[in-house]
Structure 1
Amino acid sequence: MAAPGSDRGPIATPALWAEVRALLPGTEEGLTLALSGEVEDGVLQLLQRARGLLYAQPCEAAALGRLGEVLRDYSWERLNAGPWREISKAWRQVYTYGCLFAALAEVAAGRPLASAVRLCDMGLLMGASVLDNVLARLVRVLQAQLPRGELCTHGSVKRDRTDPIPAPVVQPEDAVPHLRCPSLEHFRDNYLIPGKPVVLEGIIDHWPCMKKWSVDYFCQVAGCRTVPVELGSRYTDEEWSQRLMTVGDFISQYIVNEDSVGYLAQHQLFDQIPELKEDIRIPDYCCLGEGEEDDITINAWFGPAGTVSPLHQDPQQNFLAQVFGRKYICLCSPQESENLYPHESHILHNTSQVDVEDPDLVKFPNFRKAALQSCVLMPGQVLFIPVQYWHYVRSLDISFSVSFWWS
């Protein structure tokens, strides 16, 4: 292993290569290269050549890395050739194989592990599962070799701000009701079926994340992992963009130093990093839905104070669980939609043009007719947001929330 503080970081060793090879089938024929659709014969031939190089004795790492790069580049063009929903799963699997072969080549060559971890993350983000989700198993082995204390380079995060953002005053008549551990029947009859928001208390106190999670903990568990980050205070701003970066870099730039506003918002984080998923639970109330547990989408929302989600609607029921930090949230019934001035473009048709906390009532005069409810969501509380219910969210602190979308 490299010395602590080395720019190269930990490197692969023969023992690690043996552990990694144990994740794969024992024979070349056992690695089936099964795809869920058609691709060109030339691509299949490249996959077969790469497989042969992997199982050669010794593994031909340099040539394997080059083929992995070719497979990644070619399939990347296919992944960006049209709307994501129209992309064949087979091409996503080819991209995964390209990432897998390239990552294995890095390990076989004894190179620093950071590049192999990034390749695994790219396959997990953009690809589709192959070989019993081998990339997730591989990255867990690689990450275990990284010294947890060196995954982030930032100093300690100051928890006590000298100028904490004050919470807006919520008038009693506008407050979202609070309820402690209601029965399934009571929740269903009084909130789910009528489509009324409610803040639930006491239902996530037993989650391990409530005692474990902090900014420092994320550095230790996920600092080296590559994730998509949204840049900008809100997604309707012209300067809003997305980029890939490590969790450690995100924390250093946007949480600790607050150079600008960035937000980690994605639904694959818990699949990428199972350690985090083990710290949360799906709320029991989701069993009242029509789908299976696998149909529930779990989203992560991690960012600094001041981040805003404009007033918008979602197509599913939503439980928003607050792990740490506070969020100010305004809600409005879908029956009020005509008073909320949704954008006319198809892309933003579910988003209001009105800035909830600073509305232009000359431009949007009917907004004053809208009946708004609000709350300050505190750690340990869960907000039920009914399907299609309009909601606006502003982080008052460094904040981590988990949302569950279900039908």
Structure 2
Amino acid sequence: MAGSAGLWEEVRALLPDSEEELSLALSGEVDDCVPPLLLRARALLYGAAPPCEAALRRLGDVVRDYAWEKLNAGPWRDVGKAWRQVYAYGCLFGALAEVAARRPLEPAVRLCDMGLLMGASVQNDVLARLVRLLQAHLPRAERRSAAPGGAKVPPRARTEPPPAPAVRPEDAVPHERCPSLERFRDQYLIPQKPVVLEGIIDHWPCMKKWSVDYVCQVAGCRTVPVELGSRYTDEEWSQKLMTVNDFISQYIVNEPECVGYLAQHQLFDQIPELKEDISIPDYCCLGEGEEDDITINAWFGPAGTISPLHQDPQQNFLAQVFGRKYIRLYSPQDSENLYPHESQLLHNTSQVDVEDPDLTKFPNFRKAAFQSCILMPGQVLFIPVKYWHYVRSLDISFSVSFWWS
């Protein structure tokens, strides 16, 4: 649906009442030519109502293009927060121009998402508030449609999945149903032993609500980063920005040879509707950090997606919402037998293909003892810090992980 005068008033209400209150303060230095551009765009917003959308769009384009060069000039860790804020303002001005012009809202939603992904928070997270408002005004069909031709995506539809690997009883990760905090701490957290927890997420709304179609409803129009390739160590692995609808259509519904995977650290910040359907496991209170220090990740993709054997620097709860995953775990004590990559970039990742190891090249791999499990919907796997883990999706799968210290 194109924007309307009424929508512009709703959008305008998200901004401060006066021009001076929209401070445009930046957390650092930027080139001298940038502040005048931001001030001109701000003046347009607080001039005519609605503003001159053509001029506002041009300024948004210039600000984004200029900031984009700075964001891509070197390693991401070296990008100053001020330039990310400039990019966010460019996205904000561009999105507002689209609404003021009463154009279809999809480009404005994409601009908000780009600002959320690549920018930094400005004006009390105005981009997050704006995109939520715009999404509510999209026609329902455009929020739901992911299959070719606009057909509704059947929840969890797929051909017969491949058989799951056998898990021998002597190698199986132990299961516990709703252990007390004290028991979890004493039996698993302190000794750093993996365990599959049952019954602790049965109350999550997502366990009854989430499906492929529900993800389309809630997030179909949103732009997210997608990993292309069955595993991140493959030479052909890459990343691409696309809408959730396009991702589901291209990599879930049609089951192509190329594997696409939505592995997102920001998804729940981008789309609060999804975050409202989950909650942080109570056991995280046993950690040393605050709740805000817990990183929540989304993992959504088709069968056949693989996370190579790797280790993470924090404790991990991996919660399975739908689909199944085969997981194999190795103790940090076996690190030398797992042949980590020598490069700094992949030093936390093994060179060994766990399910088809080259024992001539990696002979000591056979010495490494492992545990394994098939993680089923409603189960949560505790992966201790630095524990090596290999993950293969057996079905269309949505998992949520919590990294905590």
TM over 0.5: yes
Residue 328 of structure 1 corresponds to which residue in structure 2?
326
Alignment partners' CA distance in 1, 2:339 and 2:95: 48
Q: Could you say what secondary structure the match of 2:371 adopts? A: strand
Q: Distance in 1 between matches of 2:80 and 2:352?
A: 38
Deviation at 1:162, TM superposition (A): 4.6
**Which whole-Å CA distance do the structure 1 matches of 2:335 and 2:325 have between them?**
23
1:44 lines up with 2:22 in the alignment: no
Counterpart amino acid of residue 134 in structure 2 = L
Partner residue of 2:389 out of 388, 391, 404:
391
Compute the displacement of 1:149 (Å).
3.2
1:163-202 residue pairs with structure 2 within 5 A? 163-202=160-199
Q: Residues 309-328 of structure 1, C-alpha deviation per residue, up to 9 Å, x if partnerless? A: 00001111100000000000
The aligned residue for residue 112 of structure 2 is 120
Three-state SS of the structure 1 residue aligned to 2:390 is: strand
1:265 aligns with 2:257: no
Cα distance in structure 1, aligned partners of 2:159 and 2:210: 23
1:77 positional shift: 1.1
In the TM superposition, what whole-angstrom CA distance separates every residue of 1:175-223 from its partner, at most 9, and x where no partner exists? 0000011111111111111111100000000000000000000111111
Equivalent residue letter for 2:244: V
Q: For 1:382, what is the secondary structure of its paired residue?
A: strand
In structure 2, C-alpha distance between the alignment counterparts of 1:91 and 1:60, rounded to whole Å = 26
1:266-299, Cα deviation, whole Å (9 max, x unpaired): 1100000000000000001111111111111000
Q: Say which of 135, 152, 156 aligns to 1:143.
A: 135
What does 1:203-352 align with in structure 2 at a 5 Å threshold?
203-259=200-256, 260-352=258-350
Give the AA of the match of 2:44.
L
State the secondary structure of the residue aligned to 2:33. helix
State the partner residue of 1:92: 84
d(CA) in 2 for partners of 1:40 and 1:161? 52
SS at 2:200's partner residue? Answer: coil
- 1:218 match: secondary structure: helix
CA contact (8 A) 1:54 1:61 kept: no
Shift of the alpha carbon at 1:147?
2.3
Residues 319-353 of structure 1 deviation map (CA, whole Å, 9 limit, x = unaligned): 00000000000000011000000111111110001
Counterpart AA for 2:404: W
C-alpha contact 2:303 2:396 (8 A) present in aligned 1: yes
- 162 and 304 in structure 1: CA distance in 2 versus 1, 3 angstrom threshold: closer
The one-letter amino acid of 2:259's match is: V
The answer to whether the 8 Å contact 2:142/2:221 transfers is: no
Identity of aligned residues (%): 81
Contact 2:161 2:303 in 1 (8 A): no
Matches for 1:11-50 after TM superposition, within 5 Å: 11-50=2-41
Please state whether the residue corresponding to 2:24 is helix, strand or coil. Answer: coil
SS at match of 2:391: strand
Map residues 357-376 of structure 1 onto 2, 5 A cutoff: 357-376=355-374
Partner residue, 1:55: 46
Structure 1 residues 308 and 141, CA gap change in structure 2 (3 angstroms): same
Q: Is the contact made by 1:343 and 1:352 (CA closer than 8 Å) also made in structure 2?
A: yes
* Letter in structure 2 aligned against 1:382: V
Q: Distance in 2 between matches of 1:19 and 1:163?
A: 47
Report what 2:100 is aligned to.
108
Paired with 2:122 and 2:197, the residues of 1 have a C-alpha distance of 39
Residue 58 of structure 2 corresponds to which residue in structure 1?
66
CA distance in structure 2 between the partners assigned to 1:398 and 1:289 by the alignment? 32
Contact 1:148–1:221 (CA under 8 A) maintained in structure 2: no
Distance 2:225 2:402 in 1: 19
Q: CA deviation at 1:153?
A: 3.9
CA root-mean-square deviation: 1.0
Kept in 1: contact 2:155–2:213 (CA 8 A): no
Determine helix, strand or coil for the equivalent of 2:346.
coil
- AA matched with 2:385: V
Query: What's the offset of the Cα at 1:164?
Result: 1.9
Unaligned runs of 5+ in 2: none
Match in the other structure for 2:351? 353
Query: 2-side partners of 1:68 and 1:162: how far apart?
Result: 46
Distance 1:243 1:99 in 2: 19
- Hey, what's the Cα distance between the residues in 1 that align with 2:112 and 2:250? 23
Counterparts of 1:96 and 1:61 in 2: how far apart (Å)? 18
Provide the C-alpha distance between the structure 2 equivalents of 1:205 and 1:140, rounded to a whole number of angstroms: 28
- Superposition TM-score, scaled by structure 2 size: 0.97
Q: 4+ residue runs of structure 1 moved beyond 4 angstroms?
A: 158-162
Give me the whole-angstrom Cα distance separating, in 2, the residues matched to 1:307 and 1:179.
27
Does the 8 A contact of 2:158 with 2:396 survive in 1? no
Partners of 1:281 and 1:184 in 2: CA distance: 16
**TM-score under structure 1 normalisation?**
0.96
For structure 1, the residue ranges without an aligned partner over 5 or more in a row are 1-9
